[in-house]
Structure 1
């Protein structure tokens, strides 16, 4: 995670001094828990099925990734070799268990952009009819009649001229006409603001923002300030702490004890703290991080 080890040790030491001086339960430090834990699924064929992710009992939202081709009249879904056939049934199974299932657009590869307002409106129509509550008979639905719960903006590139704000407003309008909520979320980089998704977030239509506190070394040294900027800028959105769940993922992973005593008490002070996001299911299964974080979130 993009929190420097030196910074974590300073916070950890300060909190432990208070802990030793006050005869209170450790749970007293986690005062604004929501129990919300989001995970990304779809980037590794070896991570198991969507159904298995939901059956773990760890997650309250699973975001499939990615729809990574759009904006030029073509659309393509990349789930790293997962067979599409069973996923419609898995989505319904997850939803029956109370787990929200969403779809992320963008990602690290692919061919995506929204160069015109019309391309943004076309993408909104496509998402609505192919994955959400639409019923356009000419539109192929990869997951059959399964109706996803939301759309996540996970942008690794965009220009100020692109029209993700138009897309966000169009999806919010379709949300207003649907028979169930549409959860509009974004997963920006840590450093505020994220220029790729800034225009879209400015629409005020996003329910949740999963901030990736693991991909920017400069952000890591000042993570508290960055967290405060995100929570202050979007008081109407729930802000999630984005983490890496396995030590295998590199230097930005946080040891569980440091997370519990040094980070969670800080982020939970924000009135719009939402929970924790993990990138991703494959590494969480290997590291079993969610077994700790689930009860701290």
Structure 2
């Protein structure tokens, strides 16, 4: 009788909450998270499939549907790239019943899915608490457990919200989360709130919310920044800093911090790594108390490269589970192209035709310099990093002669480069303009220092800084 009662309760739970609520574990240290919805793989000639195509095996545990990219008159604006174009009559809100069907199919296979607010471009900042609470009501009714005549995904109920805030200060998102949490507390099923800050700590766009609201997962973007995975093995790589935030600052002391990486070539400007390097990094950080797995931008790229499968095989194997279908998810036709991503053009030494290294010059990835009779190649953006100190410089070999002296950047202010309207700057970036140094408070492009509030005016151009940290934008 007890066994029958237990089985009956289990069946009732599946019917009430959905099978996915029994499978996904937010406290796991082996979760694989992928973003879906922006078709980033098109940059490498591919095409992102329907959401349901990525739910057919155990590779990905958690999907982030991207993005609610704007807030217009207090209402969300949904952007799913090429996946959905129809809108509700008299509205700009997308009407995507096929995506709704896919969401339910993925949930039935044990996946959790959340809607992401933000992205690299768009207008979604909320600084007012009242506006944050009102926007939470909109999100609850349109995507979660509420009711609305215009639900983009029909009767599909997403499992929560992700904040991918990459501009603004966003203090209103504290009340946004608190309002949703109050609704979650009386719901008959679990909901989750996640965030995707960039790795420089603190992340200005999400700092207010991260320090004052309850998050379940934090998907830190360790790419397109000096602290990304390309800096693993140096003091710049700062997973330990984020784990300390989780244990000492976060309201939820059990929040999980995930290592965010590009899914493969085309996923980011820097931080693209292969499966062996990813597993090396995961093996070194998995012992952190709040480690929670890996996040990838995005699912199409991660499947094309095979990186998601490699991560899942490693992480899920750590938890004692394996999946026989994983070997079928890689795309054999694209595997051979991965060999072209290695810098095959790097010379093996010879004459010092490269310019002499300069402490005040800035170098992008694959830039070459000569220093003390040897040739060096930069693996990522660098300034004032002495080549003989190691990363980001790779010693190519000896050379003879003296390279040309590098030409200073016109209009610069010592070691701080001149502002450019075509360059994207993230929070903390420094530029020179009109004889002064300016610091970006959040992501910006095309906003002139001195006339836009994103820039804080600093000292006049006299002297130099040790280095300029340039934080490129992720997506």
Q: Deviations over 1:195-234 (max 9, x none)?
A: 1111111124100000000120255545676211111111
Equivalent pair of 2:174/2:208 in contact (CA under 8 Å): yes
Write the deviation string for residues 71-112 of structure 1: whole angstroms up to 9, x where unpaired. 632321000021322011111100010000110001122222
Q: 1:247 to 1:275 in 2, by over 3 A?
A: same
Moved more, 86-95 or 249-258: 249-258
Q: Which residue of 2 aligns with 1:54?
A: 55
Greater per-residue helix proportion: 1
Task: Output the CA distance in 2 between the equivalents of 1:94 and 1:102.
Answer: 12
Higher relative contact order structure (alpha carbons within 8 Å, sequence separation ≥ 6): 1
The runs of 5 or more residues in structure 1 that have no matched partner are 1-32
Q: Is the 8 A contact 2:174 2:213 kept in 1?
A: no
CA contact (8 A) 1:212 1:242 kept: yes
Q: Is the 8 A contact 1:72 1:119 kept in 2?
A: no
Q: 2:30 aligns with which of 27, 32, 35?
A: 35
Pairing 1:102–2:114 present: yes
Kept in 1: contact 2:227–2:237 (CA 8 A) = no
Residues 224, 270 of structure 2: 8 Å contact kept: no
Match of 1:150 in 2: 160
Taking the aligned partners of 1:116 and 1:34, their CA distance within structure 2 comes to 35
Q: Tell me if structure 1 keeps the 8 A contact 2:177–2:213.
A: no
5+ residue gaps, structure 2: 1-27, 85-95, 248-252, 316-475
Question: In structure 2, what is the equivalent of residue 166 of structure 1?
Answer: 175
- Structure 2 contact 29–256 (Cα < 8 Å) conserved: no
Give the root-mean-square deviation of aligned CA atoms.
Answer: 2.0
Specify the alignment match of 2:370 in structure 1.
none
Structure-to-structure mapping, 1:275-290, within 5 angstroms: 275-290=293-308
Over alpha carbons, which structure has the higher Rg? 2
Aligned to 2:105: 93
Contact 1:149–1:181 at 8 Å: present in 2 too?
A: yes
Tell me the SS of whatever aligns to 1:55. coil
CA contact (8 A) 1:35 1:295 kept: no
Which residue is 1:25 aligned to?
none
Match of 2:241 in 1: 229
Partner of 1:5: none
Q: Partner residue of 2:333?
A: none
TM-score (norm 1): 0.82
Contact 1:168 1:203 in 2 (8 A): no
Residues 71 and 115, structure 1, Cα contact 8 Å, conserved in 2: no
1:149-190 deviation digits (Å, cap 9, x = unpaired): 010000110126x31111121111111121111110000001
Counterparts of 1:223 and 1:63 in 2: how far apart (Å)? 30
Q: Which runs of 4+ in 1 moved over 4 A?
A: 222-225
Instruction: Identify which of 140, 144, 154 aligns with 2:150.
Output: 140
Give the TM-score normalised by structure 2: 0.53
Whole-angstrom distance in 1 between the partners of 2:278 and 2:169: 35
